[in-house]
Structures are given as structure tokens and as C-alpha cells.
Amino acid sequence: MFRKRKKHLGLDIGGAAVRLAIVSPGRKPTAEKLSKLPVPPGAVENGRILDPEALGFAIKSELGPWEGDLFTTIKAAGSGIALRFFKLPLLKKGELEEAVKFESENVLPFRLSEVFWDYEVYKARDHLEVLVAAAEKQTVEQNLAVLSAAGITPQAVELGPLALVRVLRRQLEGETAAVLELGDFYWELTIFSSGRPVFFRLLPGAPQADLRSAAGGEVPASLGELVQDLRRSFDFIGRERNEQVDKLLLAGYGAAVPELAAFFEGQLGLEAVLGDPFGLVRNKSGQTSPEFAVALGLALRGVRP
């Protein structure tokens, strides 16, 4: 008799809303449920979770009949996370771990003793490229407290850019592309080279009213500053990697504002489009908004689309 496979749950907790995705594994995974619920008053402030019990209860209520044995991944977000990239010479395995640890201490904004961290190493022709992901222990513990209050046993805590790779893979293949995830409080800029993250920056968000003004042809101060940040980031990649950013993908709650992609295209002089998080799944949820990209990517952890 075949054992029934667990459904997968992805949880993306923002400053104003929680977005969740439930996926059934299969030859082509199925998005069974995508939903958004408001964050209880006072539960999240400046990207920090202050009332995990209230959040957990809200999530438990939203899951309803889906509550049960779910393979759950939750996003770590806000100022308590970091992704960093650096190069090392070709090293033997015994030397590599110490070299990565030493360099990570230098490039991360936290002490290693204060974070949960991991790394991946990619071999180039004459050097190694290292991606280090870190989340403050306090940030992770806040997320785990939410899941505990919801009666959920977690399998992983993950950073947003790593989740986005899963759902935007086809749009990222073969080129240098930037993804701007417009969250409720912070915006996350990640630049990918052939589907692999090579740059990450956390940016302050802007009000929905500013996004609508930008889409209407105005340039609010918050968006003007953002455009300058994007240009500086793209220039940095040009200098450091000799690569030109070819495309900007928009994801997150603000990405669905009509004509926002056209605003960025006009300001930056490159192709700007909505990220399509549904290309690798069968979508039965009835939702099509790009704001669910991270939640869906989290739910696809451990699933092979």
C-alpha cells in the first residue's frame, strides 16, 4: 500500500499580512490553497514579531480543515537576516571550512554566535564562490514560537530569495536578472546569475499610495530613492562580476499595482515584468497574485516541480 504524501505549507509573515500556501506534491505539484490574513494588531512591528501567540492562533484558524500533518517551511525576514557573497581561492576540503568561517565573520553584520547560518560553495574556473545565508537566532525563535502557537511542527526556516528561486526558475535561467520582492514593510532586492543568487540587499518599503502614484506617472521621493538604490546595485554587479542586469522581475504585495512594471522599465531602461510564480505548478487555489510568490516557493521546498 502506498503511503500518502504530506502536503506542504509555506508561511510568509509580513508586517500587515500573513500569506500562506498549501501544495500537494506530484509530477506537477498542485497549489491547493493560497490565502492572506491580516496580522493581528500589535503582533508585528518594524518587521519584528511581538505577539507570536496571536499570530499562531490566526494561522491555525485560517488553516481550518487543512490543519494536520503538514511539511512546513516559514520565512525568516526583516533586519535579522543576511545573504552575503564572497570569493575564495581554490582550497582543499580541510582548509575550506575554516576559510569560509573566517570570511563569514568579516562580511556578515552579526557575530556567528548570534545566528543560525549555512553556506554553499560553487566552483568557478580559477576560484570558489561562496553564498552565506544567516538569520539571527532571535528571528528564528520568533518564527518557531508562532508555529508552536499554531500547533505546527516546522521542517525549515528559510530566507525569501531561496524560496523565490523555486517559483521563478524559468524566468531566471540563462541571464542576469534582479528580483524586487515588495513586502509589507521591507523590500528585498536579489540579483541572480543564471538562477543563482549573487547579490542581496534589504531596502525600506514604500506605501501603496506611492506605488500607485508611480504607476500613474509621478515619482514620489520614496520611489526616486529606490530607483537610485537599484541603479547603484546594478552598477556594483557590473564592476564586481562584469555582468549586466538584463531584467527586473517584480514580486510581492506591491507588484500587482497596474503599470508599476512600466514605471521601473522607464526609469531603469531595462525590461521589467511581473514574476510568474505559477508556471511550475497546477493552480487550483483561485489566486493569481504575485504577492504569493514567496509563500508558494516556501511550500515547494523539498518538492520537485
Place of cell 531595462: 270
Distance (Å, whole) CA 197 – CA 177: 10
For every one of its 305 residues, what pLDDT tens digit does the chain have, with 9 covering 90 and above?
345 578 999 999 998 999 999 999 999 999 999 999 999 999 998 778 999 999 999 999 999 888 778 999 999 988 899 999 999 999 988 899 999 999 999 999 999 999 999 999 999 889 999 999 999 999 999 999 999 999 999 999 999 999 999 999 999 998 999 999 998 888 999 999 989 999 999 998 888 899 999 989 899 999 999 999 999 999 999 999 999 999 999 999 899 898 999 999 999 999 999 999 999 999 999 999 999 999 999 999 988 66
Distance (Å, whole) CA 30 – CA 12: 18
Q: Are residues 103 and 31 part of one domain?
A: no
Q: What pLDDT does residue 51 have?
A: 96
For the record, the C-alpha cell of 233 comes out as 546595485
Q: Crossing angle of helices 137-149/52-63, nearest 10°?
A: 50
Q: What pLDDT does residue 305 have?
A: 60
Distance (Å, whole) CA 290 – CA 278: 9
Q: Is 242 helix (H, G, I), strand (E, B) or coil?
A: coil
For the record, the C-alpha cell of 187 comes out as 523590500
Amino acid at 303: V
Q: Are residues 265 and 179 part of one domain?
A: yes
Distance (Å, whole) CA 81 – CA 72: 19
Longest dimension (CA), the chain: 62
Q: Are residues 233 and 96 part of one domain?
A: no
235 CB neighbour count, 10 Å cutoff: 11
Q: What pLDDT does residue 2 have?
A: 44
The 3-class SS string of 17-78 reads EEEEEEEECCCCCEEEEEEEEECCCCCEECCEECCHHHHHHHHHHHHHHHCCCEEEEEEECH
Number of separate domains in the chain: 3
Distance (Å, whole) CA 196 – CA 190: 10
Q: Are residues 119 and 100 part of one domain?
A: yes
Query: Smallest Cα–Cα separation from 251: which of 260, 243, 242?
Result: 260
Answer for the pair 131, 120: CB distance below 8 angstroms, yes or no: yes
Answer for the pair 71, 6: CB distance below 8 angstroms, yes or no: yes
Q: Find the CATH number of the domain harbouring 24.
A: 3.30.420.40
Domain interval for residue 94? 80-135
Q: Are residues 188 and 115 part of one domain?
A: no
Q: Find the CATH number of the domain harbouring 101.
A: 3.30.1490.300
Q: Are residues 235 and 214 part of one domain?
A: yes
Distance (Å, whole) CA 193 – CA 234: 12
Q: Are residues 261 and 196 part of one domain?
A: yes
Q: Are residues 156 and 55 part of one domain?
A: yes
Answer for the pair 270, 248: CB distance below 8 angstroms, yes or no: yes
Q: Are residues 249 and 227 part of one domain?
A: yes
Strands 7-13, 17-24: pairing kind: antiparallel
Q: What is the CA radius of gyration of the chain?
A: 19
Q: Are residues 158 and 96 part of one domain?
A: no
Query: Smallest Cα–Cα separation from 302: which of 36, 32, 24?
Result: 24
Answer for the pair 241, 198: CB distance below 8 angstroms, yes or no: yes
Q: Are residues 202 and 188 part of one domain?
A: yes
Q: Are residues 196 and 175 part of one domain?
A: yes
Q: How far is CA 173 from CA 64, 116, 121, in A?
A: 37, 29, 19
